[in-house]
Amino acid sequence: AYTAKPFVPDHGTLDDLRRAAAGCRGCPLHRPATQTVFGTGNTHARVMLVGEQPGDQEDRQGKPFVGPAGKLLDRALAEAGVDPADTYVTNAVKHFKFTQAEPRKRRIHKSPSLREMTACGPWLAAELALVEPELIVVLGATAGKALLGSSFRVGQVRGTVLEEEIHGRPERLVPTVHPSSVLRADDREQAYQGLVADLKVAARALG
């Protein structure tokens, strides 16, 4: 089975993890992608935000949530009253998965499979163990499935505080939609307000 496990150091800092993740060959996604996109943010963050996987911009720049969806997320966090200094952002899968009709054509995002999410899980587990967030904000269905299992449905639990054991640790989680779904929505304003409302639940849960 594909797994990142042999590449994850037993101990060390987030920077050690990031350096090791740059060389991860735990599943085939590393081959077509430009680079590993590891999490960034405050080591002592109170909130960990978990998305699906890096997008085109993230893959090029090597940082999560720097593209259009990331900008929208920053705006929504500010509006909900979550301090960016209190956050650590990462993805369930650390390499960009895409299809491309021809070289030099636009790279189209493809959702990672359960196998790839499982393979990449040890990185997320290691990030959680080091950051020890008070709350996890789950951004969208893929992140939800990676953390809470394949029966996760974002529409059923968004904007609520869940308590679950994640990678052996008791965690509080607030699920919401992925910010890229707001960009695709027919009614963007309504979708955006929905995201902000869910993030406000997270802000209140932090107290």
Residues of the shown chain interacting with ligand SF4 in the complex, contacts defined by CB under 6 A? 4, 21, 24-27, 29-30, 36, 93-95, 116, 119-120, 123
Q: Which is nearer to ligand SF4, 91 or 180 (CB)?
A: 91
Minimum distance from CB of 118 to ligand SF4 (Å)? 9
Nearer to ligand SF4 (CB atom), residue 22 or residue 162: 22
Query: How far apart, in Å, are the Cα atoms of 187 and each of 71, 100, 115, 182, 184?
Result: 18, 29, 33, 8, 9
3-state percent helix, strand, coil for the chain, nearest multiple of 5: 45, 15, 40
Rounded to the nearest whole angstrom, what is the least distance from the CB of residue 108 to ligand SF4 in the complex? 18
CB-based contact 64:54 (threshold 8 Å):
yes
Least distance CB 49 / ligand SF4 (angstroms): 18
Whichever of 89 and 119 has its CB closer to ligand SF4, that residue is: 119
Nearer to ligand SF4, 24 or 141 (CB): 24
Least separation in angstroms between CB 17 and ligand SF4:
11
To the nearest whole angstrom, how small is the minimum distance from the Cβ of residue 29 to ligand SF4?
4
Give the single-character DSSP code of 162.
Answer: E
CB of 206 to ligand SF4, least distance (A): 29
Give the residue ranges of DSSP H helices in the chain.
14-21, 56-61, 68-80, 114-131, 141-148, 154-157, 179-184, 188-206
Partnered with residue 165 across adjacent β-strands are 170
Between 41 and 122, CB nearer to ligand SF4: 122
Q: If you ran DSSP here, which 8-state letter would residue 81 be given?
A: T
First to last CA, the chain: 41
The distance between the two most distant Cα atoms of the chain, rounded to a whole number of Å, is: 50
Residue among 199, 206, 55 nearest 139 (CA): 199
Q: Which is nearer to ligand SF4, 123 or 192 (CB)?
A: 123
